[in-house]
Amino acid sequence: MMANCQKDVITDLFRRSKETGEPVKVCAPMVRYSSLPFRHLVKLYNCDLTFTHMMLADCFSKAQSARDADFQHCKADRPLIAQFAASDPEDFAAAAKLIAPYVDGVDLNCGCPQRWAIKEGIGACMCTNSDLISRIVRRCKEVNPHLTVSVKIRILDSLEETIKLAQAIEAAGAAFISVHGRTIKERNVTPHFDYVRAIKNNVSIPVIHNGGVYSPAELGPAVESTGADGVMCAQGLLNNPALFAGHKETPLQCVQDWVNIAISYGTTFVTFKHHLVFMLENVLPKHEKKIFNNLSTIPAVLEYLDNNFGIKYQNSLPT
């Protein structure tokens, strides 16, 4: 029964999106930042679906220590997709089986452009090997027949090859596909919305657009340009976790919520402060940023927030 419910959760998200005309709003997988506390925070502000950070399937499937370090969850942390990097079908299927009771789907990362990932034969370099991606998806579906499986890709230089890649992923049994509209070599450039639209026009499964949405005003145009069923944000949500709720910059209530969530979960100082640096980027003047950046303990940060914004730790989790 649990497995069927997992699939229905994701299916229902896209069904409701079609009925309402609103895109599925997704928090992207982000190394260091897609932790349980941040996932909790964005869900308070109209985020429909969150991803874990990219985990290594081979390590996750073989070591309890890796599982403990990589994955924290709670009952409220749903719907949730666990993302894995893998180049071996058995590793991906095994990791998916272990994590299946705690998530609503698993995703194969074929979008990470970092050099270490490329050297290991995982991430974005896999986009030129649709046969391997297909074998990984198929094997996962064989081992976990009721689990939602998706793939996140980057576009290739060739539009034709990009479309073929997406079609191969669909044929392998993926429930949806997330498309970062930039190539492996592209960074801070405008995404190729036309590539994402072409994929959407040539597959029947839902397509999530990723890239180039940093504010509420950019959300609608991205959907119109791509025809995508959903929009995935990374940096935009780091800077403003309330983006999907229509806020142009991080509201102070969101900062208050982060303080309560992060401390309640026992978040490390580094992660706690990093998120605040992102959230306060457009709030603090330059001279205040220097002061804030030099704070070195949680008590010091809390004193600063109290003195400047009246924000205190309230010893409760917001819902």
The catalytic residue positions are 112
The two structure tokens encoding residue 211: 């890239």
The two structure tokens encoding residue 188: 């801070």
The residue whose two tokens read 């969101």 is 254
The two structure tokens encoding residue 215: 């504010």
The residue whose two tokens read 């071996």 is 88
- Cis, bond preceding 79 (omega within 30 deg of 0): yes
How far is the C-alpha of 31 from the C-alpha of 243, rounded, in Å? 20
- Provide DSSP, 280-317: TTTTS-HHHHHHHHT--SHHHHHHHHHHHH-----SS-
Identify the DSSP state of 265. Answer: T
Identify the DSSP state of 73. Answer: -
Type and span of the H or E element at 210: strand 207-210
Going by C-alpha positions, the residue among 231, 245, 232, 229 that lies closest to residue 19 is 229
